[in-house]
Amino acid sequence: MSDTHAQSVAFVRDTMLPEQAPPVSEAGVVKWMRENLFPGPVNALLTILAIYFVYKIVAGALPWFWNGVWTTSSLAECREVLNGATGGCFSVLTERWNQLLFGFKYPSEQYWRPLSAFILLVVAVAPVLFFSLPRKMLIFTGLYPFLAYWLIWGGTILAPLFGLIGLVVAFMVFRRVEGRGFATAALAGLVTAVVVWWLGGLLAAALPGALALDPVPSRDMGGFMLNMILGTVCVSLSLPIGILLALGRQSHMPIIKWICVVFIEFIRGVPLITLLFVANVVLSYFFPPETNLDLIIRVIIMITAFASAYIAEVIRGGLAALPRGQYEAADSLGLDYAQSMRLIILPQALKISIPGIVNVAVGLFKDTTLVSVISMFDLVGMIRGPILASTEWNGVYWELWGFAVVTFFVVCYGISQYSQWLERQLQRDHH
Amino acid sequence: MKKSVFFGALTVAGLTAGAAAAATLDDVKARGQLNCGVTTGLVGFAAPDANGNWEGFDVGVCRAVAAAVLGDASAVEFVPTTGKTRFTALASGEVDMLARNTTWTFSRDVDLKFEFTGINYYDGQGFMVPKALGVSSAKELDGATVCIQTGTTTELNLADYFRSNNISYEPVPIETNSEAQPLYLEGACDVYTTDASGLAATRAAFENPGDHVILPEIISKEPLGPLVRHGDNNWGDVVRWTLNALVAAEELGVTSANIDELANGTNNPEVNRLLGTEGTLGEMLGLDSDWAMRAIKAGGNYGELFEKNIGENTPIGLARGLNAQWTDGGLLYSPPFR
């Protein structure tokens, strides 16, 4: 600063003012509240109303949780302990915990079997869900269905073992004969598998004690375990079947196309509960009284058929969304049908279809509770039937249904979070 | 009507399919296990406990039959059925007998081709209302909303009763008793109607049972009993006379406590015939001589089963009422064992 104008200018600031804190109303919590909660009279009113309702709900629900009784052995005792105070009777969950998880007939000393099957399920599914895991883990995923069957249903290990061997041998035969045409190879593979299974059946029947676990009949499955079994099996079966149906529906071969169209349209036009009633009631008229096909298998077939029809339509949407140029590009590279689908079309179509597929999977998992209507004791069936009908727990509702809600929410929310993560992972465009 | 024709047709189809396996008694013996259809859960009548063992009044009948036929009261596979699946389960041969508080009606007996083998509980349909409603008779229920289980005889009785009394109602359909309870308590319906035994059991589970009254009108006859398929009379006889043995045992003073003593022989020839120390009744049924003894030992005689599962000392607290022996003014009357 020079002195040139020292006389003509009254005051010259020669230092910076220190930085001031912003006004209270423009910073921090107050600003956030002003902008988000009370920007105007109407919104302020709504906010206050909302806070009031939240308070009411919390004030009502908190003592109910806080005073909850966990150790009594009947509802009457609960009421005695509470003595008129508000409180949940969570004893029903502790006393019937195993029944809620495993149903009331699964032998209690064998609970470790479904439990370890569940833990192994996590290991088996992990490499499918997360691509960064070592690919060798997929070997275990392939073995898992047979292992889980052996763990949950018990019996000799020979039965699932030969099921596996049959598939492996059939695949090897298929690869060997593949050069002579797809149909011949598929037929040869099928024949081999049937022969191996037949031999395995004979052997398993002859040696029922080989590495055997106590067999548990399907009728004894129940609780959340049944929902998990139905959900996992049906989702994993319906995905490949759905892909085949979607491709079949686009096929140029009229018979295949019509079979797929009729199947999809028929199944989609029928409510799931009707299919379940058919599985339970009507199918048994077509079998001789003694040869009853397992009820779980009948139900799995029906739910899988239902889910695959929906997944097929979702994937068809994905296929239709691909530009025609992609198909032509595949053709111009000289790829045959199977190669072009596997390498070019499906990876893109499936990526587009992920939200839809997950939607179907979540819906399907929740729909497994419908089996309670055909007197199977899944989680909902256990609550509706045996637990609420017992003399001790007749009249406990909120606690049981709340438990069911939380259990299903955890699983379904997990699935949906995973799918969002997956979509971000597969993002290839840069917006 | 169409529905019953459809089910009738299904039943016929089931019977022809099951014709090859007509001798149910032989099947049960060969299997070593009785398949007994029960409810998916009804307080006091059939429900599994915390350890998964079925308990209840209807369950007691299944166990008695299993004990009589197979000598083991635990050799029963309980097949839970809903109101909608019960008849197809029996007709298709999935179960050997149904002990599922099923009302004996003409059309079920004749049209659906079943055979009711007796009555183990005389019930009747009643109404429960909150005391605050200030109603003292079912005839004052004009315009009420009524919770009612679908697919049961109570639904039809209700329509008949209101129509014949020229009053209107609004039905709230529900699937099971356990759904009705919260709906009724929350006030979704003014009235809950079902069999009087069910009403008593439901009321007993309320926090304040005193706030609710069961109206005096009983609007229907609901004879509940076990049933089997048409066309296998021998098996029907086994189930019928096992039930009769339980009833007769109470009448004759035979209990699970004194049965071993009485089995050594008594002065009462009917007791002796019942317990197989005299005569050949068991042989005529195709069973051995102490079949009835095993049936009674399984869970006690009729009175003991009643007291243990639904009697006045249980939370359900039903009085014997119509279900007392004929000698006490009730309707239980077993034909003679002769």
Q: What is the ipTM of this complex?
A: 0.71
In 3-state terms, what secondary structure has residue B99? strand
Would you say A104 and A377 are in contact if contact means Cβ atoms under 8 Å apart? yes
Question: Taking a C-beta distance cutoff of 8 angstroms, is the pair A156, A210 a contact?
Answer: yes
Closest to A386 (Cβ–Cβ): which among B47, B77, B82?
A: B47
Minimal Cα–Cα distance from B49 to chain A, Å? 7
Tokens representing B154? 């109570």
- As a whole number of angstroms, the distance between CA A329 and CA A59 comes to 64
The letter for the amino acid at A341 is M
Distance CA A398, CA A379 (A): 15
Mutual angle of helices B233-251 and B57-70, in 10-degree steps: 110
pTM for the whole thing?
A: 0.79
Chain A / chain B CB contacts < 8 angstroms:
109
Kindly report the nearest CA distance between residue A372 and chain B, in angstroms: 10
d(CA A386, nearest CA chain B) in Å: 5
Looking at the complex, report in whole angstroms how far the Cα of residue B24 sits from the nearest Cα belonging to chain A.
11
Cα separations in angstroms, A270 against A265, A267, A277, A302:
9, 5, 12, 11
Distance CA B12, CA B1 (A): 17
Helices vs. strands in chain A: H and E counts, helices first: 18, 0
* B316: closest chain A residue by CA: A391
Instruction: Note whether A104 contacts B48, CB cutoff 8 Å.
Output: yes
Which residue of chain B comes nearest to A381, CA vs CA?
B40
- Token readout for B166 is 């020229």
Nearest by CB to residue B43, choosing from A96, A292, A391, is A391
Strand (E) or helix (H) holding B171: strand B169-174
In this prediction, residue B60 carries a pLDDT of 94
Report the distance separating Cα A189 and Cα A86, nearest Å: 66
Residue A123 half-sphere exposure, CB side, CA atoms within 13 Å? 16
Quickly tell me which residue has 């727990």 as its tokens.
Answer: A393
Residues in chain B with CB shorter than 8 Å from the CB of A384 are 40-41, 175-176, 178-179
Cβ contact, residue pair A289, B178, below 8 Å: no
Residue A245 contacts residue A309 (beta carbons within 8 Å): yes
Model pLDDT, residue B21: 47
Sign of CA dihedral B5, B8, B12, B14: positive
> Averaged over A56-80, what is the pLDDT?
88
Residue A174 to residue A187: CA distance in whole angstroms: 8
Tell me the chain A residues in contact with residue B207 when contact means C-beta distances shorter than 8 Å. 79, 395
Point out the residues of chain B with pLDDT beneath 50: 1-21
B105, B53 Cβ separation under 8 angstroms: no
Percentage of residues of chain A with pLDDT beyond 70: 96
Most confident segment among A14-28, A55-69, B235-249? B235-249
- CA-wise closest residue to B236 among B20, B75, B90: B90
Region for residue A212 given its phi and psi (left: phi exceeds 0; alpha: psi -120 to 50; beta: otherwise)? beta
Question: A360: which 2 tokens?
Answer: 């179907």
The answer to whether B11 faces chain A, any CB pair under 8 Å, is no
Closest residue by Cα to residue B93 from B21, B168, B12, B189: B21
CB contact under 8 A, B88 and A281: yes
Least confident of A46-55, A283-292, B31-40, B146-155: A283-292
Position A261: which residue type?
Answer: V
**Average pLDDT of chain A?**
86
β-partners of residue B172 are B147
A209: three-class secondary structure by DSSP: coil
Chain A contact set for B88 (CB, 8 A): 281, 284-285
User: Does any CB of chain A come closer than 8 Å to the CB of residue B20?
Assistant: yes
Give Cα A78 to chain centroid, integer Å.
Answer: 35
pLDDT, tens digit (0-9, with 9 covering 90-100), for A318-334: 999 999 899 899 989 98
Q: Would you call B205 and A108 a contact, using CB atoms and an 8 Å cutoff?
A: no
**Cα end-to-end span (Å), chain B:** 43
Alpha-carbon torsion (B153, B159, B162, B163), positive or negative: negative
In Å, how far is B189's CA from the nearest CA of chain A?
17
The answer to whether B172 and B148 are in contact (CB under 8 A) is yes
Report whether pLDDT(A36) > 70: yes
Distances (CA, A) of B89 to A285, A289, B125: 10, 10, 26
Query: What is the distance between the alpha carbons of residues A299 and A233, in angstroms, rounded to a whole number?
Result: 11
Q: What are phi and psi of B102, to 5 degrees?
A: -100, 130
Provide the pLDDT for residue B8: 45
Structure token digits, residue A214 = 């106590």
Total residues belonging to chain B: 338
- State the distance between the two ends of chain A, measured CA to CA, in whole angstroms: 51
pLDDT band at A22 (very low <50, low <70, confident <90, very high): confident
Q: How many CA atoms lie within 13 A of A342 on its CB side?
A: 5
Query: Is the separation of the CB atoms in B289 and B276 below 8 Å?
Result: yes
Amino acid at site B7: F
Please give the pLDDT value at position B115: 93
Those of residues 277-316 in B touching chain A at CB distance below 8 A are 314-316
Q: Which of residues 173-202 of B touch A (CB under 8 A)?
A: 175-179, 181-182, 201-202
Task: Specify the residue for token string 């993560």.
Answer: A421
